[in-house]
A = this chain, B = another copy of it.
Amino acid sequence: MDSRVTKARTRRSEAQARAASPDGYAHPFVTVDVVILTLRDGRLQVLLMRRGAEPFRGKWALPGGYIHPEDDGDLDMAARRILREKAGIETPYIEQLRGFGNARRDPRGWTATFAYFALIASDELVLKEGANAEEVAWWEVEGRRVKPVLAFDHAEILASAVARLRSKVEYTSLPVHLLPAKFTLPDLQQVYEQILGRRIDKSAFRKRMAEADFLEPVAGERRHASNRPAQIYRIKHGLATIFFDRTI
C-alpha cells in the first residue's frame, strides 16, 4: 500500500505536492466556478475575469476559486461567496450546474470543479471599478460561446450553462431572475423571446404565466411612450422556480 503512495507522489513530483487520499492515491484539487449570466441591452452576457496568475495567465476565465472550509458552510455557500467577492453580487439566483473533472483541464494535473450557474438582473450589477477593474468584464454570448479563448475547460462549462438556460426557459419561470424585482408582463415576454430566439404569442404567454400563478401585481405603472401603461408585477413571496405544465 505504501508503494502505491510512493508511485503516485513520484509521478507528480514536478507538479505540486498534494495530500494522499486515505486509500493512498494522490488527491485532486477541487474548485468552484460560477457562470454568471445577465441580459444587457437585450443581449445575453457572461461575466469573465482575466487571469493574473499561471496557468492561463492573461486568458479570460469564469470567476472561481477554492473552497474555504472555515468560511463556507457548503458548496452553495462557497459559490455565493465567490460571486460576492469576485463580482460584488449579493442576491442572485444560483443553482449547481454539474461537476467537471479530468486530467486535461489543468496543466498542473488532475483537477475537478463544481460549476454553478447564476442569473442576475442588469440593474443589480455593481462591478467593482477598483484596482482590477480592467480584469472584470461582461462578454456577449454568441450561440453558446464568447469571442475570447477561455482558460481551462471554461468554454465547455459556459456552453453547458447556456444550454441549461435555453432549455429551462421552455418550461420554467427562470427568466424572471434576469429582470429587476419589479417588471411588466411585456418586459418578461421580451426576455423569454430573447433567450428562445423566437416570437411568442402574447395571449398564449399570458395564459401560461397566469396559470403558473407565481406573479402578483403591485401598485404603480410604467410608461415608456404615449400608450396604455402596463401593469407592474413581482414574484410572489417565497416562491421557488415554477415548472410549467407545458412548454412555452
Contact = CB atoms under 8 A, between A and B. Distances in A.
A28 interface: yes
Interface string A41-83: 0000000000000000000000001111110111100100000
A101 to B, nearest CB: 4
Interface string A109-128: 11010100000000000000
A8 interface: yes
A1 interface: yes
Contact of A25 (B3, B18, B70): B70
A102 interface: yes
Task: Report the contact-size class of chain A (Cβ under 8 Å from the partner).
Answer: 35 or more
A27 B29 contact: yes
Interface in A1-43: 1, 3-4, 7-8, 11-12, 16-19, 21-30
A216 to B, nearest CB: 28
A149 interface: no
A74 B103 contact: yes
A152 interface: no
Given A101-B67, A112-B30, A112-B67, A4 B23 contact: yes
Contact of A22 (B7, B21, B25, B246): B7
Contacts of A70: 7-8, 11, 25-26
Interface of A: 1, 3-4, 7-8, 11-12, 16-19, 21-30, 65-70, 72-75, 78, 96, 98-103, 109-110, 112, 114, 246
